[in-house]
Amino acid sequence: MRGCYGNLGPIFLVIGSLFVYFVGIWLNWKVICGLCLIVPIFDLFCILFVPESPVVTKMREERISNRTIFHLKYLKGIFLSFLIVFFSEFSGKSAVMANLNPIFISSNIRLPATVASTIVVCSTLFSTLLVTPLLDRIGRKMIWIISSFGSALNVFLLWANEEYLLSPSVPIVCLFFYMFFNGLGLNPLPFVIIPELFPDEVRSSGMGAAQALNWFLCSVNVFSFRFMTNKIKLEWTYFLYAIIMVLSGFFGIFLLPEMKRKMMAEKKSSKKTVEKKTENMEDLKDESNNKENIMFSPL
């Protein structure tokens, strides 16, 4: 169930994006900004009545004070969190989503750019909803790999279309499936995997640092998109994103741990328990051997 609950954030994030694109077909951007103010104000009021997490309450009762993530034993979690966030953001999803209208206008598609953009964002919502019940069945690792290579394939096709002018229909089809595969894993999985990489006492710090880095890289990605398309053109920007997503796929194969069953802290704990049981069994065996030696030793 952890995967399902962890995916709620990305689902509503995509719903919010889809709402903006949908009303943007008819409304002015100033009106949209006013509408977007309603939910944060309502959220600010509701958060006052949300009870504290039971984990935090328990930690306060037990007076657990070691809450810094800057410790050698958390280095692996920090390293993996950085790579997860990096590959998620530099897959290009935020930059492409923020520039869908200009991309479609330059591609000369038959549909209005605003309508085409809304259709593409719908694919992300569909895939995010689709993957929610599968996170705890298939596992995070396999979904990440499928998402990375599926996104890479569609962005390679976008590069080929820009380079060789294959068809005016390619951008909307490939962007639809690019956002679909992105919504399967690269978009939602950082919200699911990163909290599982840290134990209770540092989970909030680890997740906070990862989210700060996530939104910083998101800003860098969005603001660098226009610069990149001006300097190296749109096709080579696509090519760069495709290479990063291929690397993301290999990261999923060789480095990403499978957290479907257990959190990393639980894995370490279970490993220590097994080692302790093994030591106890060896001690018991030594004791029994000593007793046998005493019983059968010559007087």
Digit-coded pLDDT (tens) for 129-183: 999 888 888 889 999 999 999 999 999 999 999 999 888 889 999 999 999 999 9
pLDDT in tens, 2-45: 667 778 888 998 999 999 999 988 988 899 999 999 999 999 99
What count of other Cβ atoms lies within 10 Å of the Cβ of residue 206? 20
Distance CA 199, CA 114 (A): 44
Whether pLDDT at 245 is above 50: yes
Q: How confident is the model at residue 290 (pLDDT cuts 50, 70, 90)?
A: low
Radius of gyration of the CA atoms of the chain, in A: 25
Predicted pLDDT of residue 68: 73
Confidence of residue 271 (pLDDT cuts 50, 70, 90): very low
What's the half-sphere exposure (Cβ side, CA atoms, 13 Å) at 242?
17
Give exposure, 127-166, as e/b (b: 16+ Cβ within 10 Å): bbeebbeebbeebbbbbbbbbbbbbbbbbbbbbbbbeeee
User: What pLDDT is stored for residue 266 in this prediction?
Assistant: 53
Residue ranges and CATH numbers for the domains of the chain are 2-274 (1.20.1250.20)
Position 287 confidence tier, pLDDT thresholds 50, 70, 90: low
Residue 274 has pLDDT above 50, yes or no: no
| pLDDT tens per residue, range 213-228 | 999 999 999 999 999 9
Q: Give 61-111 pLDDT, tens digit per residue.
A: 666 555 678 788 889 999 999 999 999 999 999 999 999 988 988 887 888
pLDDT of residue 113: 87
pLDDT at 205 over 90: no
Residue 166 pLDDT: 85
Q: How far apart are CA 292 and CA 290, in angstroms?
A: 5
Provide, rounded to the nearest whole percent, the portion of the chain with pLDDT above 70: 82
Which residue in 10, 18, 175 sits closest to 109, CA to CA? 175
* pLDDT at site 218: 94
Q: How many angstroms separate the CA atoms of 151 and 93, rounded?
A: 10
Q: How far apart are the first and last CA of the chain?
A: 65
